[in-house]
Amino acid sequence: MQIGARIHRALGYVLAISVLTVMWEILSLVLNTSAIPGIFKIWSYFFSNLPLVLDNAKVSFIRVICGISIAFVSAVLLGLASYSKKVDAVSSSFLYVLYPIPHIVLLPLFLILFGLGETSKILFIAFVVFFQIWMSVRDGAKNIENEYTYSLLSLGANRIDIYRHLVLPYVMPKIFTGLRIGVGSSVAILFFVESFATSKGLGFLVMDAWSSANYPALYAAMMAFAIMGFSMYVVVEILERRLCRWLYL
């Protein structure tokens, strides 16, 4: 039955992709402009220039993974600490002040502090994603019912046991919620930071192809973006099903 469900889901993905492809093809035929090339032109560009695309995708992927990892570790640790009411009282005031700011406008600050190289790009991605994961994990950790804590204490649990057996598994689904949102926005931020002061990465490919009106290259680079975002999303989903098995029975 589980395998059946999986096949079902995969078929759903295939169907969605096919529908979107057909819609693109119709758009291309109707508008009849070189700026919206047919899907086969894009694919043939994508596959005949695969080494170039992969090369840039690799650079982008490393940036985004480093950024997410830094955000993930720091946000999860900080969020988990909100299980303690005292810690939460302090950290939540920072969260409330910092969360509503449109983080993306702080990019110049990162460039000033960390220069134009890789560091500022990675840290900026980390910075934006950090808040999304932090918010989600913190909300989970602070709402754990006392009764759970009592039953663990009655079994002789100390603080470490409580984090291991209660707090961490309790917030695990929240971690994944944050991560899923974070993955989506990290790819968007990636495009933003790669659209200037770099000569590598998928964002650069997009900007470069666009400015030289090389449309098949432009959409091939966009497609690479989409594939990267989608694969990361799928990995998160698989991890969640593994680690939160009790939610998928």
Partner 1 sequence: MLQAINISKTYSDNTKAVDGISFNFIKGNSYSIIGPSGCGKSTFLLMAAGFLKPTSGRFLIDGNQINKPYDKSVTILQNFGLLPWYTVYDNVALGLKIKGFKKNEIKLKVNDALSMMGLLEFKDYYPSQLSGGMRQKVAFGRVFALKPNIVFLDEPLSSLDALNREKMQDFLLNLWKMEKFMMIIITHSIEEAVFLGKEILVFSNRPAKLVKVIKNESVGDINYRKTSEFFEKCKSVREFIEL
Q: Which residue matches tokens 């998160």?
A: 236
Residue placing its CB nearer to partner 1 in the complex, 154 or 211: 154
**What's the CA gap between 10 and 208, in Å, rounded?**
34
In the complex, least distance from residue 171 CB atom to partner 1, rounded to whole angstroms: 11
Residue placing its CB nearer to partner 1 in the complex, 25 or 88: 88
In the complex, least distance from residue 163 CB atom to partner 1, rounded to whole angstroms: 12
On the CB side of 143, CA atoms within 13 Å amount to: 9
Residue ranges in contact with partner 1 by CB under 8 A = 145, 147-148, 150-157, 161, 165-166, 169-170, 172, 244-246, 249
Q: Residue 59: how many CB atoms within 10 A of its CB?
A: 20
Residue placing its CB nearer to partner 1 in the complex, 42 or 167: 167
In the complex, least distance from residue 154 CB atom to partner 1, rounded to whole angstroms: 4
In the complex, least distance from residue 243 CB atom to partner 1, rounded to whole angstroms: 9
Residue placing its CB nearer to partner 1 in the complex, 55 or 145: 145
- What DSSP assignment string belongs to 22-80? HHHHHHHHHH--TTS--HHHHHHHHHHTHHHHHHHHHHHHHHHHHHHHHHHHHHHHHHH
In the complex, least distance from residue 151 CB atom to partner 1, rounded to whole angstroms: 5
- Two tokens at 36? 């919206």
Which alpha helices (DSSP H) does 99-214 contain, by range? 107-114, 118-142, 146-154, 159-162, 168-194, 202-211
- Two tokens at 107? 């990019």
In the complex, least distance from residue 164 CB atom to partner 1, rounded to whole angstroms: 9
Residue placing its CB nearer to partner 1 in the complex, 76 or 172: 172
Residue placing its CB nearer to partner 1 in the complex, 13 or 150: 150
Q: Residue 197: how many CB atoms within 10 A of its CB?
A: 13
**What's the CA gap between 5 and 25, in Å, rounded?**
30
